Amino acid sequence: MKSRRAFLAAAAATPLLYPIVRHAYTRTPTPLPDDDGRHLPNVALETHDGRQVRFYDDLVKDRLVVINMMYANCTNLCPPNTANLLQVQQALQDHMGKDVFMYSLTLQPAIDKPLDLRRYMDKFDIKPGWTFLTGEPAHVELLRRRLGFYTLDAAADADLKQHTGMLRIGHDARDRWSMIPALATPRQIVNSISSYLQASATTSLHT
């Protein structure tokens, strides 16, 4: 586990090791918006049901969050990642949307609109407590980088064939962050999430 500052510093300085995914898409370089220096950008996003939200104020502040990246027309790693996380959602049961908030942020915000994300969710029968997000490409790109979902090799980073297969888990109020593969077993992921909760809450989390 790392403090928020240590986690962000490490993300900026060290390329992540993660599974490589084979896709025939290239990420178009996107100019980043002005950065206000916040530990996590408070950029505007849009949810799968069309709500306008701010990333930090509305989604992350004082919450335990689980974040991954995907895109709606992904046919390789995204579907098994989503299916695996669906088991995590089922294991967390009533904690979802109350103690734990799961977010999936599209890697193709210029293509994936709320309706595309809603259809993707319907395909997997995803329940409340798990929100899919899109937004301005510059805002999504800033988040991708500040959350550490990138590699320092610019050419590789621009290629969706190297789309990350990791989860970022963090508890803003407790200033703790970590990373785990999205294809770890549901039990491993639930255990990682549980470690952030108060002891009274963790006892009822299991697969």
| Helix, coil or strand: residue 160 | helix
Range with the poorest average pLDDT among 18-22, 120-124, 166-170:
18-22
Q: How far is CA 104 from the centre of its chain?
A: 5
pLDDT at 72 exceeding the cut of 90: yes
- How confident is the model over 14-38, as a mean pLDDT? 42
Domains and their CATH numbers in the chain = 4-30+47-202 (3.40.30.10)
Q: What is the pLDDT of residues 165-191, one digit of tens each?
A: 899 999 999 889 999 999 999 999 999
pLDDT of residue 159: 67
Structure tokens at 179: 């990373």
Helices (H), the chain: 4-13, 78-92, 114-124, 137-146, 154-157, 186-194, 199-202
Does 118 or 3 have the greater pLDDT score?
118
pLDDT at 139 exceeding the cut of 70: yes
Q: What is the pLDDT of residues 85-118, one digit of tens each?
A: 999 999 999 999 999 999 999 999 999 999 999 9
- What is the number of other CB atoms lying within 10 angstroms of the CB of residue 60? 21
Alpha-carbon dihedral sign for residues 178, 182, 187, 193: positive
pLDDT of residue 122: 96
Averaged pLDDT score across all residues of the chain: 81
113 in Cβ contact with 134 (< 8 Å): yes
